[in-house]
Structure 1
Amino acid sequence: SVAILGFFTLCWRITEMLLDWLSHHLGQRLAWRLAARALAALVVLAGTAVLFDQVILRGIRLAGRTVADRLDHSTPAGVTQPDRAVRSGSPSSGETWDSLGLQGKRFVSGGPDAARIARVLGSPAQDPVRVYAALDGRGLAGIARAVLDEMDRTNAWQRRVISIVTTTGRGNANEWSASALEYLLAGDCCTIATQYSGLPSAITLFTSREQPVAATRVLFEAVQGRLAAMPANERPQLFLAGESLGAYGSNGIFTDVDDMVAHIDGALWLGTPNFTPMHRELTRSRDAGSSAVAPVVDRGRHIRFAGRSAQLSADEAGRPLDAWQSPRIAYLQNETDPVVWWGTRLLYRRPEWLAEHRPATTPMGRMHWFPFVTFWQVCADMPVCRNVPEGFGHKYHASQITPAWAGVLGRDPRADYSAIEQALIEDVTIPPIKVFGI
């Protein structure tokens, strides 16, 4: 807080000095000192804006890409090239192992195979298909073509479900979410993920926020176009998924709720950022009596918000929701996730989630809003929001994700999925996060 205050004070002092110096020199040439002061202010502010955009942000982007390129040419410890043909990056794939980048290598080498799924479920299973395409010098259209080629090669169109995952920043996909869907479907699915940026999420957020939306739209339209050409009774179901900036990206391709419900068979989004227009609109239009933390929309007919698995079937007061009709869409959001609650309006306006009465035993219940202060308090949580136990902050647990996917697939989210949850805990190693969780 002291550092931030010092930074703003310094910025103001420098701006004030520039205004004084410029207005003094202009005042010697202009008859009206007020006009000189106004012109000085305009020149200084315009110069500052150009400096910030063309020098500071460009430098941040360049530094971010340099670090990202170095990481993308490495292979994480314990990660090996897949040998199954149903994985991108395998010897039979058109997408080479080295082209996938660090996050792509993690994605295609992770997840259960048919033997593992069969052991956990106690019934026959298939090898799940995982398709990944990275930038590798291509544009978004080139990435989409590469995905379709991989889907043709792996015969993905014959699977029961196709899931498009919009990744975060440099291409990370939530492994628990992808694996949970594969277990629940006994491997009869194809999960797609792509890299749309060479920058970490925190930098992408401030420099090219629309890139996740554009990348999702291009890929979604390409896949949807191929599905539309198939006989209706042979089409796989189409699902969307994403975490934080990925959730923002895949929400952004729809104009409104009706558009979303009309074009997908279901979705699961984790830790959707507060600045996502669809998320904000759904929260605003929630049923009377429900909270901004766990909003109920149209009695849960299509869309459900949950922090705990019990909220997939009932509201916060325990009242049962109406029957969950297809298409089913779920938003998981932890009460302690700063990504969900952060926004610039915190600077000057008390948010609904702090105006509501929350139990005093919860972190949110112990918070108080103060102008300017609360904004920076939540900002300070952002870099460490993954350094917490699962189920808190920006870290979603198998026990939350598995029932949510089950509900989206049309199953009872209250059923016993402990065998799958335990398998996920054993299978998935979450890499340490040392930068912004989004």
Structure 2
Amino acid sequence: MTWSVLKSSDRRAWFAAGVRRVAPPRIGTTLGIGTGVLASLAPGLLPRTPSAQAVLTGLLAALALGVGGILRITLRRCGFDIDERQAWARLPLLIATAVLVAGAAANAEHWQNRLRAAMNTPPIGTGYWVRCALGAALIIGLFACATRAIAWAARKLGWARGVSLAAVVAVLLYLVGVPAMVGWRESVYARANAELDPALVHPVSYSGSGGAESAVSWTSLGAEGRKFLSGPPARAVRVYIGVASAPDLDTRVALAIRELERSGGFTRSHLVVTVPTGSGWIDANAVAGFDQRFDGDVALVGLQYSYLPSWATFVFGRDAAVTAARTLFTAVERHIQGLAHPPKLYLYGQSLGALGGNAVFSGDAEQDGRTCAALWAGPPANRVHRGGATVLANSSDPVIHWSLAQLWRAPDLTGARVDAPVPQWLPVIGFAQTTADLLGALHAPPGHGHRYGTDQGTAMGSC
């Protein structure tokens, strides 16, 4: 059938169908994707790779699109179809949203380059945004396909059977899938903790754990403990007790005291109780800083309480950090009280270690009274006792910003060192941006983000 023989009504119907096929997206779609993209382009704390920005943009846009879809269905069931009543607004809204997104991208590029200039990293350009757009579009497309597939399955099954099936799947995931996933990840982390790195040198010094004279075996120290003890040569006594070094916390603490006695740690003028991060890591920069600060006349003791990543321990097992820090510090404190010439006692922690160490005391006065000094580096939410303590906090460190309270109030940056431009806080959006920045906190250049230097030791106070 040719155009010339089509009836007038058929031509109009054909034309209308063509217009519908190329019509602008629904109002909810434009608003959803636009809102998510604009939120993802708000200023953050750290430079981002194109892939990180693409994931953030794609996830926020998909989330906003999903919320918009739910609202559209709800309104339609209430007898209000915004796409029919306000169909004329589709194209103007699309154009306005595109202009806003372009402006937000330009502002985001300016902000990213300000951050990069402050951190001495290369600026971004057009290629960055091309990769971001492609990655975000892929994520949004996958989300759209998944929702369409779910909707199709729901129509085929019917409302009752669809809800029943979803409930069964949810219960199975909760009872079987989640525990299986958690167990698998724990086994992965346990293997990583036990794995021996041939590049690490087994210490032969008498003044450290894991050596021939030590009651602590080299294999029981864990991956981070072996790194701590085989780091660059230092004059400090280094004692470390791994999770596998003894069957329970009290036995591990008693073993730490015996190791300090054996290695001469209590004969040093200064003794630092170092609280590791969730994985058992003690920053080598802090070790070097303490060695420099006390001219080698210092002993360091650390006790591993977990081999999981810090984020996992923070979410699921932060009490372990608190209990381990309190038990070890109290045992060391009691032991030196019986010595004729006790060393000065200090406490140090970075990140989750700062949270655990801080919980040893009930307040500033107690902390000041029971320690010669304390030092906290990158404390979560920047909330620590400050009596007698030095607090190191980069303003670009998302760890000191992040807390659930950031959803509705600005973070407390008291005492933070301004190392880069700090974005203005926005409700909800600031929380989302900080959460995204947490993933790259340890990949920032030295002195920025969650990376601290030898000042973790050299800045320790005195008494």
Q: TM-score, normalised by structure 1?
A: 0.65
- 1:154 CA drift (Å): 1.1
> Residue 301 of structure 2 aligns to a residue in which SS?
strand
Say whether residues 1:67 and 2:127 are aligned partners: no
Match of 2:447, as an amino acid? Answer: G
- 1:409 CA drift (Å): 3.2
Match of 1:272, as an amino acid? Answer: P
> Residue 93 of structure 1 aligns to a residue in which SS?
coil
Cα gap change, 1:8 to 1:335, in 2 (>3 Å):
same
Q: Show the 5 A alignment for 1:71-86.
A: 71-76=192-197, 78-86=199-207
- 1:139 CA drift (Å): 1.8
- 1:230 CA drift (Å): 2.1
CA distance in 2, matches of 1:53, 1:153: 49
- 1:4 CA drift (Å): 4.9
Aligned counterpart, 1:363 = 421
Match of 2:448, as an amino acid? Answer: F
Choose from 330, 338, 346 the match for 1:239. Answer: 346
Say whether residues 1:397 and 2:450 are aligned partners: no
Say if 1:168 and 1:243, in contact at 8 Å, map to a contact too: yes
CA distance in 2, matches of 1:90, 1:352: 44
Say if 1:57 and 1:207, in contact at 8 Å, map to a contact too: no
Choose from 355, 376, 379 the match for 1:272. Answer: 379
CA distance in 1, matches of 2:64, 2:309: 25
Match of 2:197, as an amino acid? Answer: P
CA distance in 2, matches of 1:51, 1:256: 45
Say whether residues 1:141 and 2:250 are aligned partners: yes
Aligned counterpart, 1:339 = 399
- 1:60 CA drift (Å): 5.2
CA distance in 2, matches of 1:5, 1:138: 48
CA distance in 2, matches of 1:54, 1:249: 31
- 1:51 CA drift (Å): 8.1
Structure 2: 5+ residue runs without aligned partners?
A: 1-55, 71-146, 152-158
Aligned counterpart, 1:29 = none
CA distance in 1, matches of 2:204, 2:262: 15
Match of 1:268, as an amino acid? Answer: L
Aligned counterpart, 2:59 = 3
Say if 2:382 and 2:393, in contact at 8 Å, map to a contact too: no
Bigger Rg over Cα: 2
- 1:10 CA drift (Å): 6.6
Say if 1:338 and 1:382, in contact at 8 Å, map to a contact too: yes
CA distance in 2, matches of 1:62, 1:4: 29
Say if 1:64 and 1:203, in contact at 8 Å, map to a contact too: no
Say if 1:174 and 1:242, in contact at 8 Å, map to a contact too: no
CA distance in 1, matches of 2:173, 2:322: 25
> Residue 267 of structure 1 aligns to a residue in which SS?
strand
> Residue 459 of structure 2 aligns to a residue in which SS?
helix
> Residue 330 of structure 2 aligns to a residue in which SS?
helix
Aligned counterpart, 1:99 = 220
**C-alpha root-mean-square deviation of aligned residues, in Å?**
3.7
CA distance in 1, matches of 2:322, 2:223: 22
Match of 1:394, as an amino acid? Answer: H
Instruction: Using the aligned pairs only, state the percent identity.
Output: 28
Choose from 183, 187, 190 the match for 2:299. Answer: 190
> Residue 369 of structure 1 aligns to a residue in which SS?
coil
- 1:202 CA drift (Å): 0.9
Q: How many residues align?
A: 321
Q: TM-score, normalised by structure 2?
A: 0.61
